Amino acid sequence: MLADDDGYRLWLRYEPVADAPRRAEYRAAFGELVLGERIAGTLATALAELERGLSGLLGEAPPARPQINKTAALVVGTPASLPMLAKLELAQDLAKLGDEGFLIRQTTSDGVACTVIAANRELGCLYGVFHLLRQVQLGRALTELATESAPKLRFRMLDHWDNLDRTIERGYAGFSLWDWHKLPDYLDPRYEDYARACASVGLNGSVLTNVNANALILTDTYLRKVAALANVFRPYGVRVYLTARFSAPIEIGGLASADPLAPAVRAFWREKADAIYRLIPDFGGFVVKANSEGQPGPEDYRRSHAEGANVLADALAPHGGVVIWRAFVYSNTAGEDRHKQAYDEFVPLDGKFRDNALLQVKNGAIDFQPREPFHPLFGALPRTPLLAEFQLTQEYLGCATHLCYLGPLLNETLDSDTFVAGPGSTVARVLEGAVHGGHATGLAAVSNIGSERNWCGHPFAQSNWFAYGRLAWDPALRADDIAEEWLQLTFTQDPRFVEEARRMMLESREAVVNYMTPLGLHHLMAWDHHYGPGPWIDQGRADWTSVYFHRADANGIGFDRSATGSNAVAQYAPPLRERFGKLESCPESLWLWFHHVAWDQEMTSGRTLWNELCHRYDAGAVAVSGMRSTWASLAGAIDGARHRHVSDLLAIQEKEARWWRDACLLYFQTFSRRPFPEGFDPPRGTLAEYRARRDRFVPGIRERG
Amino acid sequence: MLADDDGYRLWLRYEPVADAPRRAEYRAAFGELVLGERIAGTLATALAELERGLSGLLGEAPPARPQINKTAALVVGTPASLPMLAKLELAQDLAKLGDEGFLIRQTTSDGVACTVIAANRELGCLYGVFHLLRQVQLGRALTELATESAPKLRFRMLDHWDNLDRTIERGYAGFSLWDWHKLPDYLDPRYEDYARACASVGLNGSVLTNVNANALILTDTYLRKVAALANVFRPYGVRVYLTARFSAPIEIGGLASADPLAPAVRAFWREKADAIYRLIPDFGGFVVKANSEGQPGPEDYRRSHAEGANVLADALAPHGGVVIWRAFVYSNTAGEDRHKQAYDEFVPLDGKFRDNALLQVKNGAIDFQPREPFHPLFGALPRTPLLAEFQLTQEYLGCATHLCYLGPLLNETLDSDTFVAGPGSTVARVLEGAVHGGHATGLAAVSNIGSERNWCGHPFAQSNWFAYGRLAWDPALRADDIAEEWLQLTFTQDPRFVEEARRMMLESREAVVNYMTPLGLHHLMAWDHHYGPGPWIDQGRADWTSVYFHRADANGIGFDRSATGSNAVAQYAPPLRERFGKLESCPESLWLWFHHVAWDQEMTSGRTLWNELCHRYDAGAVAVSGMRSTWASLAGAIDGARHRHVSDLLAIQEKEARWWRDACLLYFQTFSRRPFPEGFDPPRGTLAEYRARRDRFVPGIRERG
């Protein structure tokens, strides 16, 4: 029986290489670790990681030596840290790799066989070390190790919506890792393990605090705590960012206004930035949610978002910092289709932001739904540096308990063709600067990490942290390859397990789409805590209700965003606006996003829309039952603890998928007035029962007891 | 170098016995485990614990066999579970041991050497197994194993002030262990480890929820979650209790009133109890905080506490449950000395409570201060079953970071002589039923357990969970013996380490008393969150301020509770009322608790009161510096992780002890108008600076960001 694993080690388990000849091959090749004479900072971190990794993988770590002796060596360094690299003629190759890239070569130096990890900067060496250790974990042959790799995106950010009281907005894996009360004096060893995990997948920025920000984080007391974390993260190349509350000049600066054009406000931000950089020389910058969902912002003073962002950008610029301005903005009163508002707000501002002001655009135009078409701002801001924002924490994807691998969702958005400069202008290429030229751009994701022992709560939720990091490094990677690699690193190399679990992962997101919001439906969740179905929500602010978005009536269902409706399709470049705008050319998976469709409309399946809706909801629930059986068949392939954990959670997911299916279809049936299709397994409860359910104390929101 | 230990295993580490001959001796003696034929429930748990323990301690677990074979055996059972025990003629000894006691004997059965753990009930067997494993961990000789042990108190409770959103009122070790959202379907393995730890020190009751209660816990949805926890705890003999909000009949019962004498209210509680016992057949009962600090209660309907408690007691009685009614009651408006109110309220009610209604009395009359004289209710309620309540979580003892071993505080209260039936009527003997006859009584303690990996946050805080459990089993145990045992189990048997660390532990509580509240001072902490000094607090409800309690003025300092003051001393039996009532006979450690004393009053040290106050505050701070040096000298004796953790926290404690010393003395000096004594290290800050400090987001209270 395999020893129980609590999941703490993530994909960095460093268990002994099972294949004995392969292990011997590695041992022979990595006879000594050569990183030069004076090893400090990130290089020391790279050496420590190598020693930790190889001692686990190979049984013992090779000795570290200042230079090559007689045995085969693993050589790691930059031209500056290791003069012997000069002899290996890597300069030309290194030139292409920038500040963070690395290369791995098998070569000889004075007759000694060397595996060389070389980079222009020490951080590249660390990335190379993590890459090499991953290959060893996967049991790859030495002959396959040679590679060159550099990140395609500059900012690879993890955003924590963590409050100062350690609750996490929309957090489902416990509470915040940051123990503010004991900082800066006590450093939980977990801080370093967090930075290790981030660096191991190439993430280089961590936003410590909630976008719904508290100005207190910018006071001296807290900045000293932040600096202590930054010191831990620094050798791993993870820069610290903070959310800046736009009204901080009032709340902690003693000013009467936060008007970005007021000299005192400019001075406040300048002095604040100076103070931060005195404590944290490599501080990344500010993330700002302004004039959105009640947050203060420049529009409170009739200033534009660009005017607001630029004041912060100017304060940060002398220190090399950036301001990341969220484009998730919509009017404080329901008015124009929410889908359109960010585009309308920001397109006129294109070119008005400073070079170090980046606009952070959610993957879709509404709010991290199970499926959204890509946000029309991608490609529409040729002169503005962009970040694309995803949500790893499962606010709309089952909260704490649903297995939903997001690799396919990330691929789907990044692969989407905007057509802004002709075919092939994918979101990924827009972000890479290949469409409009070389802005500094990147990805951001709302973290799914918390204080639970296994970091992400659901054992499979770790895969979303992993996949996100890998895709931020290279948006061209494929979700299925990443899933396979993650499974091997995290669980076992047993091919049957990997194949079956990979299939589960790849099907999981579509299952969620089907049992929650098939065919382009969106925003059907319960009020406020967003846990479970609430398609009947019709009270409160209109564009926070479900009925606003699904618009079901006796004729049909769906939000008409074509030219006959809100005309949001016009925000997409041709030919997309035509393709989305006509039912015949619109992908069926987005029909109800862009069109109000008649219940009896025939679909390619031959079913009517109503019957297809029933079919999809059912297929989603059935898929979860299938995942549950698959998983049951894998008992014994991995340790009992993690197998039981996933089994228990799949049982919850199965129950909840059925709850979504039954509640939504019973509700929509009150409009369609059509029977369930023949053979359809009837709902288990009544609509009244589902509507009466009140879930309390759902994680991720604060509720007064 | 010793491997890092994250503290998760507590005192149940089961590391290999270091002494090889001793290990061989155990191996020979425990050649097989004999627990009989059909092993289920608590016996199965006892076997599993033996296998786990011995496999760690001895390298491998002996085989489990249904009956004795040829080798030496470890035999565990009750007369019912293991018929062979009959031959050993244990009946007479077992008769004295009750339902939970056990005995251990070295004997022979048909010529085979046996170590026998026998008990009347299976739970006794489990307690015996934990006892034996503890002796093996401590390396005791086989010849020392024979023992008999039975708990002196029936209710041995751990009270969790855990809210349904997983925050913990006054919790400093993370958040609640109970993951209500995923219950009952997902059972965190930690639930079982919690029950194991409790059972290992003899605790048999767990109150899952905050005394400031939410009625929702009594709804069917939550009761099913509670039942899932009860199922996990059951084999460990840990019964589940819930806090009952007195107004639950209104909040979840649909009634207009919670008047305990209204038939509908009686019916509500009866039906609620019936429903609970259908789900949880061994449910322990309800804990109630009523008419105290804003909680609803019977006085809202002009009914007495006894009338309120009895309705719940009647509902629980048919099922064998109890109601535990807290005596921590004081008027909603400041009036009579808080010290006196509980006594005045409950003494007239003595004899009016049902047999299954227990009154839970805090160790002192105010509120878990670093030092309080014992509560005058102990001994004053001859006809009422009592529990004494302690607080392990460090609300008034440095919150998250101070090392404060509570063994001495527990000894001090339990050893206090009430004199109610002449000398020797100690609080412990009152609780044991030795003074007024055999009521069911016990101890309760507010838990210091949370979601942090090491359970209690501070590595040394685990000792308070351990010591409390051991003392609840036997209130006569000595704090120093418990400390020594705990250190050996938790860290190492290295005698130098154990001796030095034991000394730190034993001095730690007096250090806290000195740097926070020496000479009988109390209630000087900061407003609301209670972190840090706040002797200047004078706003808000009078008896929640500091000035109400210290009463410093130009003449002197202290609360006159003698006959010339509030006369609280009259609540103690003679000769205590005289002893406390006169300055000459009052222990100096309680002077300012019972007397207003002149600044120039001479003390046995020869110092004036003012100089003695300075001396004590300084001695407290100096003691922490001493602990810090001692601890530094112990590096290498234990693993680096826990050593660093304690080092970092001691550095915080040193800083904060100094903060208390300097802030309090500067403040009191504004009244005494006397200089600091010669050679006194002057305060590092100014009073204005200390008063201006505002700590935010202190753990243990909820604050809206």
How far does the CA of residue A61 sit from the closest CA of chain B (Å)?
A: 16
Catalytic-residue membership of B144: no
CA distances from A579 to A419, A573, B89 (A): 12, 10, 91
Measure the CA–CA gap between B81 and B123, rounded to whole angstroms. Answer: 12
The C-alpha angle with vertex B397 and arms to B396 and B401, in degrees rounded to 5, equals 125
Q: Position B251: which residue type?
A: E
Percent of chain B with pLDDT over 70: 99
Average pLDDT, rounded, for chain B: 96
- Please answer yes or no on whether B451 and A175 come within 8 Å at the CB atom: yes
Reading across the β-sheet that carries A73-77, which strands appear in turn?
Answer: A64-65, A32-34, A73-77, A112-118, A102-109, A147-149
Tell me how close the Cα of A195 comes to any Cα of chain B, in angstroms.
Answer: 18
A228: contact with B, CB 8 A cutoff: no
CA distance A532 to A525: 6
B599-648 pLDDT, tens digit each: 999 999 999 999 999 999 999 999 999 999 999 999 999 999 999 999 99
pLDDT at position B702, please? 75
Q: Where are the alpha helices (DSSP H) in A432-544?
A: 462-473, 479-490, 495-516
Contacts from B425-431 at CB under 8 Å and sequence distance 24+? B425/B379, B425/B573, B427/B374, B427/B378, B427/B379, B427/B388, B428/B475, B428/B476, B430/B378, B430/B379, B430/B386, B431/B153, B431/B378, B431/B386, B431/B387, B431/B388, B431/B475
pLDDT of B261 > 70? The answer is: yes
Query: In the prediction, which pLDDT does B705 show?
Result: 47
**Residue B330 confidence (pLDDT):** 80
Instruction: Judge if ipTM > 0.85.
Output: yes
> A148 an active-site residue?
no
CB A102 within 8 A of CB A121: no
Beta strands in A394-462 (DSSP E): 442-446
CB-based contact, A391 to chain B, within 8 Å:
no
Residue in this structure with the two tokens 């009204």, named with its chain if needed: A247
Mean pLDDT, residues B14-42: 95
Q: Which two tokens stand for residue A577?
A: 């606006």
Output the pLDDT for position A334. Answer: 65
Closest alpha carbon to A667 in A614, A612, A608, A588: A614
| CA atoms of A355 and A321, how far apart (whole Å) | 11
Q: Is the pTM of this model over 0.95?
A: yes
| pLDDT at site A438 | 72
Any CB–CB contact under 8 A between B394 and chain A?
Answer: no
Residues B90-102, mean pLDDT to the nearest whole number: 96
pLDDT at B215 over 90: yes
Query: Phi and psi for B149 in degrees, rounded to 5?
Result: -155, 135
pLDDT in tens, B300-354: 999 999 999 999 999 999 999 999 999 988 876 667 899 999 999 999 999 999 9
CA dihedral B108, B114, B120, B125 (to 10 degrees): 170
Summarize the confidence of residues B129-156 as an average pLDDT.
97
Contact A164 B702 (CB under 8 A): no
CB contact under 8 A, A697 and B164: yes
Please name the residue of chain B whose CA is at the shortest distance from the CA of residue A190: B453
Nearest Cα neighbor of B200 from B493, B469, B457, B462 is B469
Least Cα distance to A519 among A457, A597, A455 occurs for: A597
Nearest to B226 by CA among B173, B276, B271: B276
Q: Contact at 8 Å (CB) between B490 and B382? A: no
* Residues of chain A contacting residue B182, judged by C-beta atoms under 8 Å apart: 400-401, 649, 652
Q: Is the Cβ pair B175, A174 closer than 8 Å?
A: yes
A186 inside 8 A of chain B by CB: yes
The verdict on B693 touching A (C-beta cutoff 8 Å) is no
3-class state of residue B220 by DSSP: helix
pLDDT band (50, 70, 90) for residue B520:
very high
pLDDT at B87: 86
Q: In chain A, what residues touch B181 (CB-CB under 8 Å)?
A: 399-400, 697-699
Picking from A641, A652, A702, the nearest residue to B186 by CB comes out as A652
Task: Collect all residues with Cβ–Cβ distance below 8 Å to B345 and sequence separation of at least 6.
Answer: B305, B327, B329
Contact B702 A702 (CB under 8 A): yes
| Residue B508 pLDDT exceeds 60 | yes
Instruction: Give contacts of B189 with chain A, Cβ < 8 Å.
Output: 641
Tell me if B181 and A697 make a contact (CB, 8 A cut-off). yes
Q: Is B395 a catalytic residue?
A: yes
Q: Which of A175, A641, A648 sits opposite B186 (nearest CB)?
A: A648
DSSP collapsed to 3 states, B27-70: HHHCCEEECCCCCCHHHHHHHHHHHHHHHHHHCCCCCEECCCCC
For chain A (705 residues), the mean pLDDT of every run of 10, in chain order, is 92 96 96 93 98 97 92 94 90 95 94 95 98 97 96 97 97 98 97 98 98 97 98 98 98 97 98 98 98 93 98 98 94 80 95 96 97 98 96 97 98 98 97 85 97 98 98 98 98 97 98 98 96 97 94 98 97 97 98 98 98 98 98 97 98 98 98 98 98 96 66
pLDDT, position A693: 96
Mean pLDDT, range B481-496, rounded to an integer = 98
